[in-house]
Amino acid sequence: MGLDDKIKNAAEDLGGKVKEGVGKLTHNERLEAEGEAEQAKAHVKKAGEDVKDAFK
């Protein structure tokens, strides 16, 4: 995984955590769900990159 990809995935994960936290604090279920989805998306990307790295 390239450094750029790692940074982008970490930023997406962090952004998702922030959204989820704000959603919980404001009782905004939609924002909370968006945050959880962003985190899941970042984790899937990381897993895919880890698989690619394993075959290099």
DSSP state of 55: T
The stretches in the chain having pLDDT less than 50 are none
At 1 the pLDDT is 57
Structure token digits, residue 10: 């970490």
Q: Which amino acid is at 55?
A: F
pLDDT per position as a tens digit, 22-34: 999 999 999 999 9
DSSP state of 1: -
Stated pTM of the model = 0.83
Q: Is 53 within 8 Å of 24 (Cβ atoms)?
A: no
- Three-point CA angle 12, 23, 19, nearest 5°: 15
- How far apart CA 50 and CA 23 sit, in angstroms, is 30
At 51 the pLDDT is 86
